[in-house]
Every structure is written in C-alpha cells, then in structure tokens.
Amino acid sequence: MDALEIRLVTAEDAPGLLKVYEHYVRHTAISFEYEVPTLEEFRARIARTRQKYPYFAAVENGRILGYAYAGPFVGRKAYDWSAELTVYLAPEAKGRGLGRKLYEALENALAGMGVLNLYACIGYPEEEDEYLTRNSAEFHAHMGFSPAGRFRQCGYKFDRWYDMIWMEKIIGKHESGQKPVRPFPDAVR
C-alpha cells in the first residue's frame, strides 16, 4: 500500500516542488508566469514563505505530488488577519483528494495562527480552452470559498486574454480588540 503523507516542506523539497510548478508555467494559464523560476529563485520563495506561513507538501513514497502554501494578502499590517492561499498538484495526482487534504492542513494551521480570512487569486477564462478551465474556481467553491471579485482581461498568456477572480472564505470571528496573528509555529526564521 502506498504511503501518502501531508507534511511541512523543507528546503530539500525545492526540486520536487519546482517540477510540479513547471507544468503550470509551461503548459497552462493557471500561473501567469511566463518563465519557470530557477531552482535558486524557487528556494528563495519557499524560504520567504516559511518565515511566517505554513507550506505543505503531499508526498507519496518519497515523491512530491502537490503542495499548498499561504502568504500575505496585500502585505500591509492591517491585513495580517488575512492570507492568500495557493495549491498545485502534479497532473497525474488530480482527482485523488490531495488538494482537499492540503487545503485542510493549511486552513487548520492558519486558524491556529489567528488568521480569519482566506483568499485565492484564480485565473479564470471567459471560455474554457486548452490552457485554462474553471476547475480551480470549482475546487475553491467546493472548499467553501465564495466569489469576491473579478478583473476582466487582466492576464495575457499564450496570445490570449484571461480574467482573474478572487474568492474568499471566512474561518474566524471578527472582533474589536482582535488578538494579533502569530507566525506559524514551525516557521523557519
């Protein structure tokens, strides 16, 4: 039986994570990046995220099948109670519930930090094509996210214009005298 594990990402995971991400840069409009980041740049991105936020990988028999992480929403102090979420799965790993498992781990970790609002920035096609479908929006809706906004024809890739939508999920109670958000306990500083 295969052993699937959802665990925190380490610096040694960078090549496996980048391999998953490379597919999305080269073959989809899910990422609006044009060039695959170098391994060094990708390692730096992981390190920046891990300074405050959780970053999880789905690993089976030593192979990374997907990953999810959180980051700052906008980046100003008043937004500390909000986080932007990202998830990527290896194409062959889709349909196994790994996205749900990764997002559940991420949501639990963020709730433990005191984060109240979750956001997802999603490429969205006016009409689905070979580079972009509405699957990501449907996944987020299934995970309890609701539409929060739409920017029309703001991303250009593969000689086509794509929309971008924001979806949100409220996971905590908003109060006056709100306690500050804590860094993820296993953050690497």
Render the burial of 82-103: b for 16+ CB within 10 Å, e for the rest: bbbbbbbbbeebeeeebbebbb
Mean pLDDT by 10 residues, the chain (189 residues): 86 97 98 98 96 96 97 93 98 94 97 97 97 98 98 98 98 94 77
Q: State the number of CA atoms in the 13 A half-sphere of 168 facing the CB.
A: 12
- Give every strand in the sheet of 160-170, ordered side by side: 4-8, 55-60, 63-72, 82-89, 117-124, 160-170, 146-157
Q: What is the pLDDT of residue 101?
A: 97
Q: What is the pLDDT of residue 177?
A: 93
Alpha carbon distance 181, 109 (integer Å)? 12
Q: Which burial class, exposed, middle or buried, applies to 120 when counting CB atoms under 10 A from its CB (0-12, 13-18, 19+)?
A: buried
Contact between 164 and 84 (Cβ < 8 Å): no
Alpha carbon distance 93, 90 (integer Å)? 5
Q: How many C-beta atoms lie closer than 10 Å to residue 58's C-beta?
A: 26
Q: What is the pLDDT of residue 186?
A: 75
DSSP 8-state secondary structure symbol assigned to residue 100? H
Q: Classify the C-alpha dihedral 94-168-143-48 as positive or negative.
A: positive
Backbone angles phi, psi at 17, to 5 degrees: -65, -45
